[in-house]
Structure 1
Amino acid sequence: MTGVLAGALGLVVGLVIGTLGGGGGVLAVPALVYALGQDARTATTGSIVIVGIIAAVGVLARLRGRTIDWRTGVGFGIVGVPTAWAGSLLNRAVPQPVLLLSFAALTLAIAVLMLVKGGASAQQADGAAVAETGAVDGGGSAPPTAGGPGSAGATAVLAAPARLSVARRVGKIVAAGSVVGFLTGFLGVGGGFLVVPALTMLMGLSMPAAIGTSLLVLTFNSISSLGARVGHLDLDWAVIGPFAAVAVLGALGGKLVADRMSGAALNRTFAGLLVVVGLFVGVQSLLAL
C-alpha cells in the first residue's frame, strides 16, 4: 500500500517538474512527511534523490531541443556545488520544526516575487519586442556601420559597457547559484522553485528556456547535496523506488504539457503552486509546535 501511494505521489511530482522545471521538491518534501510519515531530515534526503533522478531524465529529454542555456546552467551548477555541501551539513544540525518553517517561508516569498515581477517582466519583454520591430522596420535612425565614419570610436565606447554587462551577468550567476545551491542542501528541495525565478527575473531567460536550464542546475545540485550526505544517508527505498520510477514517467508527460503552455501561464501556475504548498506546510508546522 505504501508503494502504491508513493507511486501516485511520484506521478504528481514528476508532472510538476516536467511541466514547470521545478517545484518537485516543494511537493516531494511535504508528501514524504505528511502522506508517507517520514521525518523532515529523512524526507529532505529522499527528496534530493527523487528530484535529482527526475531532473537528469528531463535534461536528457531536452538534448535535441534548444530549451537549455548550457553556459548559464553549468555556471549555476558549478557555483552551487560548495554551497549545497554547506547547506547539507547545516541540515543535520537544525531541528525539524525550523526546517519546515524555513521551507514554508521561503516558498511563499518566492511565490510573491514571481507574481509581482513576473507580470512586469512579461510587459517589458513585449515592449522590447515592439521597439526592436520598429527599429528593424526603419522606425528609427540606423546605427553607424562598421566601416562608416567614427566606427572605431563607437567600438571603443561600446567595449566598456559590454565588459560591464558580462561582469554583471557573471555576478548574478555567482550570487543566485550560491543561494540556490545552499538551499538545495539545506531544505532538500532541489532548488528548482528558486532557479526558475532567478533565470527569468535575473538572467532574462524565457520561461521555456528557464525550465530546461533549471533541470540541468537541479542535477548538479542534487549530486553535490548527496555527496555531502554520504555516511549519513537514511533512505527508504521501498518509498523512494516507486516514487522516483513513476515520477520519471510523469516528468516526460509534463514536458509535453509545457510545450503547449505560454510562458505567462507557466509563471502563474508555478506561483500558485508555491502559495498552496507554502501555506499548507506553514500551518502544519505551526500547529505542531
Structure 2
Amino acid sequence: MEIIEILGYIGALFIGLVLGLIGGGGSILTVPILVYALALNPVTATAYSLFVVGTTSLVGAIKNMVKGMVDYRTAIIFAIPAFIAVYLTRAFLIPAIPDELFEIGDYMVTKNLAIMLFFAIIMLLASVSMIRNKRKETDQEAQTSYNYPLIIIEGLVVGTITGIVGAGGGFLIIPALVLLAKLPMKKAVATSLFIIAIKSLIGFLGDVQNLDIDWPFLLIFTAISVVGIFIGIWLNNFIDGKKLKKAFGWFVLVMGVYIIYKELAM
C-alpha cells in the first residue's frame, strides 16, 4: 500500500473525527480525499461519498433519536423532496452529462472538471458558513411553524446539490430548519443529520444501478470514518468543538481554493 493510500484512509478517520467534534463539515472532505489520495474519478467519488456521508450521519442521527432531539415531522417534509431530487440526480442527471462539455479556446471543459469545480464552490460557501457562524446555540423551545413551499423548494435544491457533489449539505439544511421551520438550533442540528442520512443513502441507490461498486473498499473506508465519529464524540468531553469550527472553516476554504487551482492548472 502506497503512502498516499494510507493518507487516504487516515483521511477517512479525520472525516468522522470532524463530524464527531463539530457536528458537521467533515463530509465536505470526502470527495477530495477519494479523488486526490485514492485516485477515484469524481463521479465514483461523489457516489461513494453519499454512502460514507449517509452512514456516518446515520450513526449521529440514531444517537439524537435516542435523546428525542429529532423533529420527525420537519424531517419528513424536508427529506421527501430532497431524497427524490438526489436520487434523480444520481440515477439520471449525472449519467446524462456528456464526458466533454464544451471548449474554451484549446481548453476542453470535461464532466469531471465541472463536477470538481462545482464541488470547490460548495466548499467555499460551506467554509464561509463555518467561519462566520453567527447563529446562537439555544435550548429554548420555539413554536415550530412550517413554510411548506419554501421548505419543499429548499429540499429540492439541497437534494440536487447533494446529488452532484456527494456532500451532506448541512450548512444549507440547518439554516433552513431554523428560519423556515422555526426549530431551536440543537433540534435543527439533530434533525439535519437525520435528513442527511436519509437523502444520502437513497441517493446512493441511484448509483448502484449505474456503477460497479467496490464494496470491500467502500465498507472499510466507511467503517474507519464511523470509528472517527466515536473518537470525536469522546474528544468532545475534553475539547470544545464549537471553537474548532471556525479553524476548520478556514481549512475548508484553503482546500476549496486548492481544488480550483489544481483542476484549472492540469
TM-score (norm 2): 0.79
**Which residues in structure 2 correspond to 1:231-246 (within 5 Å)?**
231-246=209-224
Per the alignment, residue 43 of structure 1 pairs with 45
Task: Give the number of the structure whose alpha-carbon radius of gyration is greater.
Answer: 1
Percent of aligned positions that are identical: 32
Structure 1 counterpart SS, 2:96: coil
Alignment of 1:1-289 (within 5 A): 1=1, 4-88=6-90, 89-94=92-97, 95-116=111-132, 118-119=133-134, 121-122=135-136, 166-168=145-147, 170-200=148-178, 203=181, 205=183, 207-258=185-236, 265=243, 268-269=246-247, 271-288=249-266
CA distance in 2, matches of 1:203, 1:277: 32
- SS for the counterpart of 2:24 is coil
Q: Hey, what does 1:141 align to over in structure 2?
A: none
Distance of aligned partners of 1:264 and 1:13 in 2 relative to their CA distance in 1, 3 Å threshold: closer
Kept in 1: contact 2:22–2:241 (CA 8 A)? no
Instruction: Deviation per CA, 1:237-276: give whole Å up to 9, x if none.
Output: 3432221111111112223445776685365355334313
Decide whether aligned partners of structure 1 residues 245 and 222 sit closer, same or farther in structure 2, where only a CA change above 3 A counts. same
Deviations 1:59-110 (A, max 9, x none): 2222322443333223221121221123212222340000000011122123
User: Equivalent residue of 1:92, what SS?
Assistant: helix
Deviation per CA, 1:6-49: give whole Å up to 9, x if none: 43221111112223333233111000000011110111111111
- Cα separation, 2, equivalents of 1:253 and 1:9: 14
Deviates more, 1:220-229 or 1:63-72: 63-72
Residues of 2 paired with 1:167 and 1:56: CA distance? 24
Contact 2:21 2:241 in 1 (8 A): no
Residues 176-220 of structure 1, C-alpha deviation per residue, up to 9 Å, x if partnerless?
222111111111113234323434565555554333222101111
Separation (CA, whole Å) in 2 of partners of 1:15 and 1:263: 11
Matching residue of 1:139:
none
Distance 1:235-1:256 versus aligned 2 partners, 3 A rule: same
Q: Give the drift of 1:225.
A: 0.9
Q: After the TM superposition, which of the residue ranges 83-92 and 39-48 deviates more from structure 2?
A: 83-92
For the residue of structure 2 that corresponds to 1:91, the secondary structure is helix
Contact 2:22 2:242 in 1 (8 A): no
- Runs (5+) with no aligned partner, structure 2: 98-110
- Asked if the contact 1:78–1:220 (Cα under 8 Å) also holds between the matched residues in 2, the reply is no
CA distance in structure 2 between the aligned counterparts of 1:287 and 1:75, rounded to whole angstroms: 43
1:138 aligned residue: none
Q: Is the 8 A contact 1:9 1:243 kept in 2?
A: no
RMSD, aligned α-carbons:
2.9
Counterpart of 1:92, as a letter, is P
Amino acid at match of 1:166: S
CA 1:234–1:189 in structure 2 vs 1: closer, same or farther (change >3 Å)?
A: farther
Paired residues of 1:42 and 1:234 also in contact (CA < 8 A): no
In structure 2, what residue type is equivalent to 1:110?
A
- For residues 77 and 262 of structure 1, do their structure 2 counterparts lie closer, same or farther at Cα, with a shift above 3 Å needed? farther
Q: Tell me which of the two structures has the higher relative contact order, counting C-alpha pairs closer than 8 angstroms and 6 or more residues apart.
A: 1
Q: 1:174 to 1:218 in 2, by over 3 A?
A: same
| Secondary structure at the counterpart of residue 65 of structure 2 | coil
**What letter is aligned with 2:47?**
T
CA contact (8 A) 1:114 1:197 kept: no
Q: TM-score when scaled to structure 1?
A: 0.73
Alpha-carbon distance in structure 2 between the residues aligned to 1:167 and 1:103: 30
In structure 2, what is the Cα distance between the partners aligned to 1:111 and 1:224? 26
Gaps of 5+ in 1: 130-161
Aligned pairs, how many?
Answer: 247
